[in-house]
């Protein structure tokens, strides 16, 4: 059970916690849609990064959506997931050498999008962890 009651606004448990502040929920949702959709980087790559971050950012709701699936990784996804794992270790103090690895294969636009996605996703997962957000279970007790 989350640490506060759900609001009446929002379609997901996460949104219902943010829904106590409708403007924040709407802006958060909008930015989440922009960052989560395929842009320069694919939505599939970003989903693997999200799953990677979820394993250590403490949000059980986010963790319940699955672990990374290395069998589906292409070279670009492997690089993004590796960078996300390094972020989990170094946080804001990332060594320049990690950016140099990215720069060998990626454009500045791709690096910027990846870093924005990592930061936004981490903030979302921290919010879920801070609020005690739990995975939903259906009528048969299966986690959704």
Structural domains of the chain in order of their starting residue, each with its CATH number? 13-130 (1.20.1290.10)
Q: What pLDDT score was predicted for residue 142?
A: 46
| 140 band by pLDDT with thresholds 50, 70 and 90 | low
Does 76 have pLDDT greater than 90?
yes
Conformation bin of residue 58: beta by default, left when phi > 0, alpha when psi is -120 to 50: left
Ranking 58-67, 76-85, 135-144 by mean pLDDT, the lowest is: 135-144
Residue 55's contacts (CB-CB under 8 Å, 6 or more residues apart) are 63, 67, 68
Q: What pLDDT score was predicted for residue 138?
A: 62
DSSP assignment of 41-105: S-HHHHHHHHHHHHHHH--HHHHTT----GGG--HHHHHHHHHHHHHHHHTT---HHHHHHHHHH
pLDDT tens per residue across span 77-128: 999 999 999 999 998 899 999 999 999 999 999 999 999 999 999 999 999 9
């Amino acid at each position: 059970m989350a640490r506060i009651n759900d609001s009446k606004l929002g379609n997901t448990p996460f949104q219902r916690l943010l829904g106590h502040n409708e403007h924040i929920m709407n802006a958060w949702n909008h930015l989440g849609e922009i960052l989560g959709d395929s842009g320069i980087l694919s939505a599939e790559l970003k989903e693997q990064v999200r799953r990677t971050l979820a394993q250590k950012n403490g949000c059980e709701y986010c963790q319940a959506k699955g672990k990374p699936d290395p069998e589906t990784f292409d070279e670009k996804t492997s690089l993004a997931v590796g960078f996300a794992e390094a972020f989990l270790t170094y946080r804001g103090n990332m060594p320049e050498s990690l950016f140099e690895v990215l720069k060998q294969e990626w454009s500045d636009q791709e690096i910027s999008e990846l870093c924005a996605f990592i930061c936004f996703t981490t903030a979302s997962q921290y919010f879920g962890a801070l609020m005690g957000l739990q995975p939903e279970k259906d009528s048969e007790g299966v986690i959704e």
